[in-house]
Structure 1
Amino acid sequence: MAPPEPDSVARELPAWLALMVDVDPSVEAARQRIGRLSRLFTRMLDMVAADQDMSLGDWEALSVVVRAGGQCTPTLLAQELALTSGTVSTRLNRLTQAGLVTVVADADGRSRPVRITADGHRRWQEATAARTRAERDLFHVLEPDQLDAFNSTLQTLLAHYETAFGEASRHDRTGRNN
């Protein structure tokens, strides 16, 4: 197998190391790559959501509703996505106007639970299937044994960080408040 093409981190690392003190080059390179991969995954997710005429935030909200059995309260959405009640209201209004959720008619007026519509569920499924295909395409550059080793390494690292800092959230909690 040919050596991998140099990535942006490999090209930039020597210049950073000349400016930084007491930095482990391997740790800095790994941290930079994890951060950049995370941002690229988010970019890909934004594109998949846009293909379904949704924002990534809307898709994440629909995911919470689906995981909750097809119906949930604004409070649950706020907790799962770490959003303010105002942001949840804005997002639910947008999802309702798009016909992706409906307000449960016979519910207590204070909690206003929402239920995913058939169209909302269809679009969520289509976006999720497209995400799965896109991720498969991204990882095809790794042989199955490389992907297994990569997952094992990531599992070790994530377990260590979760022991130190608590379990990571399912969704990013910054940058997408609407």
Structure 2
Amino acid sequence: LGVLEAERANVSASNCQGIDRSRSIFEVSFDEAAVEALPDLPGQALGHALLVLLAADAFGAADRLLELTVEYAKTREQFGQPIGGFQAVKHQLAEHALAAVTARGLFWKAAGEFDEKPESAAKSAAMAKAHITDQAMRIARGAVELHGGIGFTWESDVQIYFKRALFDRTYLGTPQIHRERCAQLSGWTQ
């Protein structure tokens, strides 16, 4: 692991257009650039921390989507009453709220393992990334469905958080990859 100044010679960066325009992504190219090595920084621990941070970002997106959708369900009327009064909408929002609460606990567990039980940090990070990003995507899809067509327009923030959840789910490995990693770290597979 190392660090270098982007302004140095032999380093170039080009902006990549991702699905999430709220997050800048760059492709960095090095042409025999001098890199200063970072001392005593375990690369694997940093990788695990990145997984937990992605899980935290996904949780934040899911939590905000839930807030937006509950507010929308209270104000959007259909057949003369708010759609939040319909049983099917209530059930869907309740399921999303439950998913968000469990995601919050899993995130805090994974973050705490770095200090309290470093030997379990890898498994907790993989578990958090797999579960939370899956739940965030589930909540994001539900938010778009409950908002209807307005959820995908530029006028609504729902589309921003949907894209964040989609990015978080796939970046640094899909939930399936991290579930397999959890199974390996638990000794359930080879």
TM-score under structure 2 length normalisation? 0.30
In terms of fraction of residues, the more strand-rich structure is: 2
- Which one has more relative contact order, counting CA pairs under 8 Å at least 6 apart? 2
